[in-house]
Chains A and B, each alone.
Chain A
């Protein structure tokens, strides 16, 4: 199974500042056949189910604010929130879907400093 490791485990950022969350996969999730990166990001607020933010490593889901962006290579990925808002307090997860079983990172808790 592909192991997904996020860093840091928790992060405190001031309102309006940039937040960066990292995700590393134990093997490449870049497909040579279609040049797509099989990586998604989710946001989970307390008491709520996860919400899809980004798929194919950098494609924002419909309705997701453009302050959220995703980037990365075959094994190292980043979720960036360009200007942190109060409503962005949540736990963020990355997930690979390059091979079964789909696996998630352990989560990164984002708080306001």
Chain B
């Protein structure tokens, strides 16, 4: 069965960095696009970043452009989110999610499998 397991969350001071990882299993990882979606405490869902199956296409929400970088290692079945210059409003549970449709062109689609999430708290 499909499993997505996030790790790397924690408490970090404003301006510092953190790298999240999402280990995937139960499907052909190299064939599917992957995304990060976040949810601030008590708030709704916000898509953050996505990477196509082969890593050639990446998209970001405007609020993280230039600060966050999504990447993937298909040999390790893992997707990453490098988060730099963190701000208090980046505090959220970060979910990784699979996109079963997005190819190497076009834009992201919907998300059929989600991990349990990892909490990132940005606070001094």
Contact = CB atoms under 8 A, between A and B. Distances in A.
Contact of A52 (B37, B44, B50, B111): B111
Given A101-B47, A104-B45, A106-B44, A49 B115 contact: yes
A79 interface: no
A99 interface: yes
Contacts of B109: 38, 55, 97, 102
A105 interface: yes
A102 B115 contact: no
A7 interface: no
B124 to A, nearest CB: 28
B81 to A, nearest CB: 15
A100 B109 CA distance: 9
A37 to B, nearest CB: 12
Interface residues of A, number: 23
B112 A61 contact: yes
Contact of B108 (A42, A44, A97, A107): A97
Interface string B103-124: 0000111111111110000000
Contact of B110 (A40, A44, A101, A106): A40
B95 A101 contact: no
A55 B59 CA distance: 21
Given A100-B108, A101-B61, A102-B108, A51 B47 contact: no
Contact of B112 (A38, A52, A102): A52
Interface in A68-108: 93, 95, 97, 99-107
Interface in B58-106: 59-62, 95
Nearest to B110: A40
**Interchain residue pairs A-B with the least CB separation, the first 7:** A49-B114, A40-B110, A100-B107, A104-B45, A97-B109, A107-B44, A102-B47
20 contacts: A38-B109, A40-B110, A40-B111, A50-B37, A50-B45, A50-B111, A52-B111, A52-B113, A55-B109, A93-B44, A93-B45, A97-B109, A101-B47, A101-B59, A102-B47, A102-B50, A102-B107, A102-B108, A102-B110, A103-B47
Given A49-B116, A99-B107, A102-B47, 4 more contacts: A97-B108, A100-B59, A101-B59, A104-B46
